[in-house]
Structure 1
């Protein structure tokens, strides 16, 4: 509890008066010893009241008495001790008042910082002039895509953000509505946080938390580079992404279908914790709604589920995200795109089918693994990925089951062959599956 300055001054004055009285008392003793006597004995302390002795020594209300014991020194010592005690108390009171005042200022500063950060936790609306201030006039450009340009910015001294300036020529504002409408209600460690947005006339922007390690894409596309994260960390990243997707499908009031799960849309913080981003193609639906309707196919080639192109494979649902996640896992395993061109054969090789054939024949994946435990991790990720990319949605596991598979042991059952006719286990001719699918239209 803070002590007021008035109390400190009052205590100091009391100590000063006591010390002054004791000093004057000592001076009075010397005067009495020089000019007074009591028979043959010198006059000494202590003082007595007037009615006890007739000889006064100059102090109003006090007289001197005759004694053979020198008690004056004891009184002075006691007075000095009392004064010293009061002085120590004063110092302690002053120190406590100073510390309390300093602590209170620190508490107020901490609360103010918390309120600033708390404001950033909830998506807030900013003007375009705020956006220019946050990005320092768009000084630090992080990247550019089809829908906009991303800049690094700063909301507070310790809170950095990524600001995405949306292109006016792209779309009818659906991406902006999707991002704000979905991410504004999401709170999960594996989903990037929307800090704020700008809708200032025709200018629109989205403000996200800044993740310094960028996207997962740059850490898995070059298998022999120094940027490889190691199999244990890749397994942790895969599990965290799966938990993030499971949250989108089951953890919110409405089910959120992302429709663009891919390494480029998974961002990594300074601890390499993955966070799903870019909800521009997302759709909301009720949890008990088994399918959703779409007018056009949406997503990125190589990660789009077959049913998104053609309903011959089934209806569009949350299982479409699971297919995309499976393709992401297989890309993590191989450190390469889902299609690639070899030196011996200029035709495009469907990489997931090659992985399946190796596993089915019991061969080693021959992917940069030096230890047996790394080989087990890569095999587990590959098997889970192959379960997720089954052509028919009904054959794919839910994301809850995917999480259990990734958390479980190494003995996973091989899924059915999704690349050929039933019962066939021989390698199939290389092909690109997605380009053969015909996009169809449906009315919302």
Structure 2
């Protein structure tokens, strides 16, 4: 009865096909004939086993060698059995025109290259597929899981590599499966392991002969497959050398520019700031303010509030510029950022500042104003008195760390702010330099993102992609791997950088200066966590101080899992910032502050927007 249940849908399909063939005999015959002739044309047949397959003999294709029709002499073609014919080629052509084919046996030939990824679409009624003892390479198509009627999938003794896709085990009727003696690696997916039995269908021998394949029903330990050395010769070597030379040249250029910048910063920080004296007629220069709690401000007011931009007033210095503490009489303290030299002209700079100055969100450091003085460009910010998240995760001796609830609050708030920049803000903005030094804490320890104004804001037609690089302000350890190759900034690049921030919050490790719990390790934080995660030891990466304080392990590991998804190698495998925010918000629901993180506000929504105080 079970066998009848499996065959019945196929029989129905063939009956419909036969009826169609009787109504349109020429059309059905032509399609099936074209399938076989295209197949023959695409393969090498040194033994002339397919000699009967010819245009002169199309009236009797059901009598062609290796071909079986459903009613022996009537199309459609039901089976194609060419085992041991000595055929060779890549994946053969024409099969998409034999849509009623139930059995395809190409075993013991010399077919090479990858298996067609559309095989289940091309052959929707496929029941038995036998490709054993060929030289097929590449990965196993995940699309096998869409073969509704596939019972037998025989792929042993080929050169298939990579991991076995878990989708294969989702094929609803799959009862016989073997991939023995290939070059497969990784864990056997649970969808197949669950089908293992003591019978001949799927058992340990189905996976044998793959040195780097592991997991039930195999008993060996998992091993990493060594990287293959390239053997493509001098052409590849020359290409690699050219790329390395170019990268070296770029590296030298960046090093020279960085040294010049740092030298100018050191010189400017000496005494009372030499650059200030170069400003002509400072009393005539007005600071453009978007929110002004102290009335009209001139450049001379900034000088007075920062003690002529003296070294003692410096809060921080990075490749974007230098931040100074500015104390105005009888009002709150502000922060003034002197930007590093930019390639933008004054008109473009002012236009962008006018846009950025009207953005208000509870998790952004508000830009209060700006000033263009000679060749200098200054930004006026609300002061964040509690420093950066970096300082609180890696404090100087004697200072306290962020507690776990504070870390969850930082993670949720920053995800919310970045999600707003990516999705709701108009124009939408890429940050391009997300790191724990660009996340500041206000007087209530609310996380505030800064430096987002240094990324060029996007036009609506940019579709979340910006190729403009206005100086490289990125910090080593936070940069997405694809940016190093393409120099193209995308929202998924921000997601990657935020993932590193999450790892930093969970592990309290620095992005490029990892101190392993045991043994030795050379690499960055992402590589360290991925290494532990792949061996089932992700929990070993967690900051030990959290466990000492009785923090819920499940909650920590949930956030660690979110972080790992954010730093996936392929951008398409990373979530969006809005999805990340929703995940973190759900994890942190038990903390009181999550009530204020109900949604991503629009520009006119005061729930997520704060006024300058």
Alpha carbons of 1:347 and 1:373: their partners in 2 closer, same or farther (altered >3 Å)?
Answer: closer
Q: Which residue of 2 aligns with 1:358?
A: 532
* Pick aligned residue for 1:163 from 319, 332, 336: 336
SS across alignment from 2:360:
coil
SS across alignment from 1:381:
helix
Q: Which residue of 1 aligns with 2:300?
A: 129
After superposition, where does 1:223-372 map in structure 2 within 5 Å? 226-287=399-460, 289-294=463-468, 299-311=474-486, 316-340=489-513, 348-363=522-537, 364-365=539-540, 366-368=542-544, 369-371=547-549
Q: Relative contact order, CA 8 A, sep 6+: which one is greater? A: 1
Alpha carbons of 1:177 and 1:215: their partners in 2 closer, same or farther (altered >3 Å)?
Answer: farther
Q: Which residue of 2 aligns with 1:186?
A: 359
* Pick aligned residue for 2:558 from 364, 374, 380: 380
Describe the superposition over 1:102-159 as per-residue Cα deviations: whole angstroms up to 9, x where unpaired: xxxxxxxxxxxxxxx984279x985321211332433533233334332211345132
**Distance apart, 1:284 and its partner CA:** 1.6
SS across alignment from 2:433:
coil
Alpha carbons of 1:244 and 1:142: their partners in 2 closer, same or farther (altered >3 Å)?
Answer: same
Alpha carbons of 1:373 and 1:319: their partners in 2 closer, same or farther (altered >3 Å)?
Answer: same
Q: Which residue of 2 aligns with 1:217?
A: 390
For 1:349 and 1:359, locate their aligned partners in 2 and report how far apart those are by CA, in whole Å.
15
For 1:149 and 1:273, locate their aligned partners in 2 and report how far apart those are by CA, in whole Å.
23
Alpha carbons of 1:178 and 1:119: their partners in 2 closer, same or farther (altered >3 Å)?
Answer: closer
SS across alignment from 2:362:
coil
After superposition, where does 1:191-202 map in structure 2 within 5 Å? 191-202=364-375
Which TM-score applies when normalising by structure 1? 0.58
After superposition, where does 1:44-123 map in structure 2 within 5 Å? 119-120=291-292
Alpha carbons of 1:267 and 1:395: their partners in 2 closer, same or farther (altered >3 Å)?
Answer: same
Q: Which residue of 1 aligns with 2:217?
A: none
**Aligned residues of 2:422 and 2:430 also touching (Cα < 8 A):** yes
For 1:270 and 1:261, locate their aligned partners in 2 and report how far apart those are by CA, in whole Å.
21
**Aligned residues of 1:297 and 1:309 also touching (Cα < 8 A):** no
For 1:324 and 1:257, locate their aligned partners in 2 and report how far apart those are by CA, in whole Å.
12
Moved more, 180-189 or 124-133: 124-133
For 2:291 and 2:354, locate their aligned partners in 1 and report how far apart those are by CA, in whole Å.
18
Alpha carbons of 1:160 and 1:322: their partners in 2 closer, same or farther (altered >3 Å)?
Answer: same
Describe the superposition over 1:282-313 as per-residue Cα deviations: whole angstroms up to 9, x where unpaired: 122245614332468662221111221224xx
**Aligned residues of 2:513 and 2:525 also touching (Cα < 8 A):** yes
**Distance apart, 1:280 and its partner CA:** 5.0
**Aligned residues of 2:438 and 2:451 also touching (Cα < 8 A):** yes
Moved more, 380-389 or 358-367: 358-367
For 2:484 and 2:452, locate their aligned partners in 1 and report how far apart those are by CA, in whole Å.
20
Alpha carbons of 1:323 and 1:162: their partners in 2 closer, same or farther (altered >3 Å)?
Answer: same
For 1:353 and 1:151, locate their aligned partners in 2 and report how far apart those are by CA, in whole Å.
36
**Aligned residues of 1:339 and 1:348 also touching (Cα < 8 A):** no
**Aligned residues of 2:353 and 2:370 also touching (Cα < 8 A):** yes
For 1:198 and 1:305, locate their aligned partners in 2 and report how far apart those are by CA, in whole Å.
33
Alpha carbons of 1:194 and 1:305: their partners in 2 closer, same or farther (altered >3 Å)?
Answer: same
Residue 329 of structure 2 corresponds to residue 153 of structure 1: no
Which structure: larger Rg? 1
For 2:376 and 2:468, locate their aligned partners in 1 and report how far apart those are by CA, in whole Å.
28
For 1:290 and 1:204, locate their aligned partners in 2 and report how far apart those are by CA, in whole Å.
27
For 2:409 and 2:465, locate their aligned partners in 1 and report how far apart those are by CA, in whole Å.
30
**Aligned residues of 1:231 and 1:374 also touching (Cα < 8 A):** no
**Aligned residues of 2:509 and 2:515 also touching (Cα < 8 A):** no
Residue 569 of structure 2 corresponds to residue 391 of structure 1: yes
SS across alignment from 1:120:
coil
**Aligned residues of 2:492 and 2:576 also touching (Cα < 8 A):** yes
For 1:119 and 1:315, locate their aligned partners in 2 and report how far apart those are by CA, in whole Å.
34
For 1:374 and 1:225, locate their aligned partners in 2 and report how far apart those are by CA, in whole Å.
26
Alpha carbons of 1:280 and 1:188: their partners in 2 closer, same or farther (altered >3 Å)?
Answer: closer
SS across alignment from 1:404:
helix
**Aligned residues of 1:222 and 1:336 also touching (Cα < 8 A):** no
Which TM-score applies when normalising by structure 2? 0.43
Moved more, 387-396 or 256-265: 387-396
**Aligned residues of 1:179 and 1:278 also touching (Cα < 8 A):** no
SS across alignment from 1:211:
coil
Describe the superposition over 1:79-107 as per-residue Cα deviations: whole angstroms up to 9, x where unpaired: xxxxxxxxxxxxxxxxxxxxxxxxxxxxx
**Aligned residues of 2:430 and 2:464 also touching (Cα < 8 A):** no
Describe the superposition over 1:161-194 as per-residue Cα deviations: whole angstroms up to 9, x where unpaired: 0112234xx3335796597255313100100011
User: Structure 2: 5+ residue runs without aligned partners?
Assistant: 1-288, 589-613
**Aligned residues of 2:305 and 2:328 also touching (Cα < 8 A):** yes
Describe the superposition over 1:320-346 as per-residue Cα deviations: whole angstroms up to 9, x where unpaired: 111110011111111121222559877
For 2:398 and 2:367, locate their aligned partners in 1 and report how far apart those are by CA, in whole Å.
32
Alpha carbons of 1:121 and 1:285: their partners in 2 closer, same or farther (altered >3 Å)?
Answer: farther
